[in-house]
Amino acid sequence: MSNIVAIVGRPNVGKSTFFNRLIQRREAIVDAVSGVTRDRHYGKSDWNGKEFSLIDTGGYVKGSDDVFEAEIDKQVELAIEEADAIIFMVDVESGVTGMDEEVAKLLRKVKKPVFLVVNKVDNAKRAEDAVEFYSLGLGEYYTVASINGSGTGELLDALVEALPEKETVVQEDLPRFAVVGRPNAGKSSFINALIGEDRYIVTDIAGTTRDSIDTKYNRFGFEFNLVDTAGIRRKSKVKEDLEFYSVMRSVRAIEHSDVCLIVLDATRGFDGQVQNIFWLAERNRKGIVILVNKWDLVEKDHKSVKEYEKAIRRQMEPFVDVPIVFISVLTKQRIFKAIETAVEVYKNRSKKIKTSQLNDIFLPIIENYPPPAYKAKFVKIKYIMQLPTPQPQFAFFCNLPQYVKEPYKRFLENKLREHFDFTGVPVSVYMRKK
């Protein structure tokens, strides 16, 4: 296990810029709106061969009427609890503020290494100004300019030196389950209900989860990463830079996941935006599970589930072999069923079928239902194999691949689904020249 380092401090001192520099990718949202980093954010970094996890916390703000502040306050305390070392960032431009003093008061009690880091120090004058931060009672400080990285080397040398030795565990690449959907469908609440810890800030303002965040999770003896994404919004709703990053992030979360759990609000249905997310996941050939949340709010009779499901499947055609689970995050109804289903879909997606088995099953089927002749030419399929890709793709070798049309490929795909369980997984069928 790598050590955990938390970056704390009030909003806009440059925590996210520093975080990005250390993990070297645009992972946290950086924007000049105060308190944009609404959540703790995780990343991996290493220095002098020592790896550590980094948490970028929400700005620590006291006595503000922003709905988020009390929540962020909890987040920082959580980060302090979880971390092996703490970087407390302040800003030389604003000098010591009342809020910095509040944070310092909390940190003076912490029995862990605390590094006071004065940011935005990019000239000698500012280096002199930094002296006033001695008044925080945290001893020595480090001066950095996170925008260009100056000073970060010395800080990191001291940081990795202070980190406790951890026994190394080989980090395997865990399957990634992305929880996606439009804002306010209940994605963060779903993850909270699973983890039973307020890892995410949940307030009833659409679009609170501005970033995607990974949580390691173990259930049914199966370990995986849960990825919570920002609600994907329609392009027209992307007013500020910020939302733009969120959308990019969700798209990226889908690209980097193995299975997408698409959460939709039962009262809104499988609307256009949810369909876009669905087709995005399908185009990326990801495993898919549809979770119909807030099912407790829908007026229903004994036929409701069937009818609702039928309506969704109509809109998913031709890819209808997708599990649909009706859940209520509020009452925790079937939330574990949702994860169990995702695990099954993951296994379906990584399924490998022996070439001999494929040919034994498919050659007789093809003999009975050959591809239709085209311009008096007959297509002969000689051999079938599964391609070595992360998701199921099959090559059918034949004499005239160009004459095999979509309907016949769909027929083959349906037969593949019939014989081998590929529920929730897009299957690709290719015709190749023998």
Distances (CA, A) of 45 to 5, 21, 88, 137: 10, 10, 17, 29
Neighbours of 386 (CB within 10 A): 18
Residue range 80-91: average pLDDT? 85
Name which of 226, 197, 218 is nearest 75 in CA terms. Answer: 197
Which pLDDT score is estimated for 40? 43
> Does the annotation flag 12 for ligand binding?
yes
Tens digit of each residue's pLDDT (9 = 90 or more) over 287-302: 999 999 988 888 877 7
Residue 206 has pLDDT above 70, yes or no: no
> Does the annotation flag 15 for ligand binding?
yes
Alpha-carbon span 108 to 361, nearest angstrom = 70
> Does the annotation flag 10 for ligand binding?
yes
Locate 158 and state its tokens: 């001291």
Higher pLDDT, 284 or 320: 320
Q: Residue 427: pLDDT band by 50, 70, 90 thresholds?
A: very high
Higher pLDDT, 130 or 186: 130
Helix axes 272-283, 241-255, angle to 10 degrees: 50
> Does the annotation flag 228 for ligand binding?
yes
Which pLDDT score is estimated for 239? 43
> Does the annotation flag 37 for ligand binding?
no
> Does the annotation flag 294 for ligand binding?
yes
Alpha-carbon span 13 to 115, nearest angstrom = 15
> Does the annotation flag 16 for ligand binding?
yes
Residue 254 has pLDDT above 90, yes or no: no
Alpha-carbon span 46 to 64, nearest angstrom = 36
Number of H helices and E strands in the chain, helices first, is 12, 15
Bridge partners of 114, per DSSP, are 86
Tens digit of each residue's pLDDT (9 = 90 or more) over 146-173: 888 889 999 999 999 998 876 544 445 6
> Does the annotation flag 11 for ligand binding?
yes
Alpha-carbon span 44 to 53, nearest angstrom = 5
Q: Class assignment of domain 355-433?
A: alpha beta
> Does the annotation flag 229 for ligand binding?
yes
> Does the annotation flag 217 for ligand binding?
no
Which pLDDT score is estimated for 212? 53
Tens digit of each residue's pLDDT (9 = 90 or more) over 378-421: 989 999 999 998 889 999 999 988 888 889 999 999 999 999 99
Residue range 129-147: average pLDDT? 92
> Does the annotation flag 296 for ligand binding?
yes
Residue 1 has pLDDT above 60, yes or no: no
Alpha-carbon span 146 to 60, nearest angstrom = 19
Q: Is 334 left (phi over 0), alpha (psi -120 to 50) or beta?
A: left
Name which of 336, 365, 341 is nearest 423 in CA terms. Answer: 341
Residue range 243-253: average pLDDT? 50
> Does the annotation flag 322 for ligand binding?
no
> Does the annotation flag 231 for ligand binding?
yes
Locate 22 and state its tokens: 């250390």
Domain residue spans in the chain? 3-162, 176-350, 355-433
The CATH topology of domain 3-162 is Rossmann fold (3.40.50)
Give this prediction's pTM. 0.58
> Does the annotation flag 109 for ligand binding?
no
Higher pLDDT, 303 or 144: 144
When the pLDDT of each residue in the chain is averaged and rounded to a whole number, the result is 79
The CATH topology of domain 176-350 is Rossmann fold (3.40.50)
Tens digit of each residue's pLDDT (9 = 90 or more) over 97-129: 888 888 888 888 888 899 999 999 989 899 999
Higher pLDDT, 57 or 430: 430
Tens digit of each residue's pLDDT (9 = 90 or more) over 56-72: 765 444 555 555 555 55
Residue 243 has pLDDT above 80, yes or no: no
> Does the annotation flag 337 for ligand binding?
no
Among 15-19, 100-104, 367-371, name the most confident range: 367-371
Residue 333 has pLDDT above 90, yes or no: no
> Does the annotation flag 60 for ligand binding?
yes
> Does the annotation flag 196 for ligand binding?
no
* Cα torsion 122, 126, 127, 130: sign: negative
> Does the annotation flag 254 for ligand binding?
no
Which pLDDT score is estimated for 361? 92
> Does the annotation flag 119 for ligand binding?
yes
Indicate if 355-433 has the same CATH topology as 176-350.
Answer: no
Q: Residue 313: pLDDT band by 50, 70, 90 thresholds?
A: very high
Residue range 320-342: average pLDDT? 90
> Does the annotation flag 182 for ligand binding?
yes
> Does the annotation flag 57 for ligand binding?
yes
> Does the annotation flag 295 for ligand binding?
yes
Alpha-carbon span 149 to 22, nearest angstrom = 9
Which distant-in-sequence residues (6+ apart) come within 8 Å of 36 by Cβ? 11, 16, 29, 30, 210, 242
Residue 96 has pLDDT above 70, yes or no: yes
Name which of 354, 330, 362 is nearest 266 in CA terms. Answer: 330
Higher pLDDT, 11 or 140: 140
> Does the annotation flag 105 for ligand binding?
no
Residue 251 has pLDDT above 70, yes or no: no
